[in-house]
Amino acid sequence: MNRETVEKMGKMRLYGMQAAFNAFVEKPPPVTFTNDEMTEYLVQSEWDDRKHRTVQRNIKIAKFRYIADTAGIDFNPERGLDKNLINRLIACDFIKGGQDVFITGSTGTGKSYIATAIGQQACLLGYKVLYASTSKLLSVLKMAKADGSHLRELSKIERQDILILDDFGIQAFDASGRAMLMDIVEDRHGKRSTIIASQMPVRNWYEVIGEQTVADAILDRLVHKSIRIELKGESLRKIKAESNI
């Protein structure tokens, strides 16, 4: 009877419940469960398993370039990080208000790490995240436009609770890139959060985007409600390399 029950659980894709039931049968606990307690045990096991699988799926879909977590953020005073602000971002309340986050600073100061750590934490809390190099994402959209699938790609981007645009401004935007960026920003404005990591200070983004009218339209939708982090100090990669000499 137990074997048939386990097989039925598997066919119904109740994998958490199946594993918990197997564990219970193979090694019964020292105390006796009531019917209610057994039901709660099995349902909670299934709930936890589904939540874990959702988190792992979200992390895979996010396509993070780096491995990062909030515990690894360096709060050295020389970096100019506000720990209270970072903790608020880690709580992910900014997502509920559709706020955007700008992380700027020189190369190697940890912009991508912080953006990724926040994104990873968002995945753990059940949010959908997409990480992308800005130039690569725009290239993908340009190719999608050529084969007629760009509206589907834009719709996918719009559905993400957080879009992380890394390396923003490394390459100047051409007319097509500006149009794609405008579509992304317009679709997400006031509804979803975007994290932008850039070596360029925000005041230089107008120049990088180009064409004043379009730049004004894009940044007007991003800047006013944004949360800003400006990293200072030397490159962390340089400091680490010197410490290993």
CA 118/CA 33 separation, integer angstroms:
40
Position 61: which residue type?
I
**Are the beta carbons of 103 and 166 closer than 8 angstroms?**
no
Report whether 121 contacts 70 (CB < 8 A).
Answer: yes
The predicted model gives 192-203 an average pLDDT of 95
DSSP letters spanning 154-170: HHHHHH-SEEEEESTTS
**Confidence (pLDDT) at 240:** 57
**Residue 174's pLDDT is what?**
92
pLDDT(207) > 70: yes
DSSP 59-111: HHHHT-SS---GGG----GGG---HHHHHHHHTTHHHHTT--EEEE-STTSSH
* Other Cβ atoms closer than 10 A to 196: 24
Q: pLDDT tens digit string along 217-239?
A: 999 999 888 999 999 876 665 55
| Residue 134, strand partner residues | none
Phi, psi of 243 (to 5 degrees): -70, -20
Query: What's residue 5's pLDDT?
Result: 85
Q: 3-state SS string over 4-25?
A: HHHHHHHHCCCHHHHHHHHHHH
Taking only the tens place, the pLDDT of each residue in 134-185 is 999 999 999 998 888 989 999 999 999 999 999 999 988 999 999 999 999 9
The whole model's pTM is what? 0.82
Looking at every residue in the chain, the average pLDDT score rounds to 89
Q: Is the pLDDT of residue 69 over 70?
A: yes
Count the Cβ atoms, other than its own, within 10 Å of residue 87: 11
- Point out the least confidently predicted range of 2-6, 57-61, 70-74, 177-181: 2-6
Reported as a single tens digit per residue, the pLDDT across 80-133 is 899 999 999 999 999 998 999 999 999 888 999 999 999 999 999 999 999 999
Q: Which residue has the higher pLDDT, 78 or 197?
A: 197
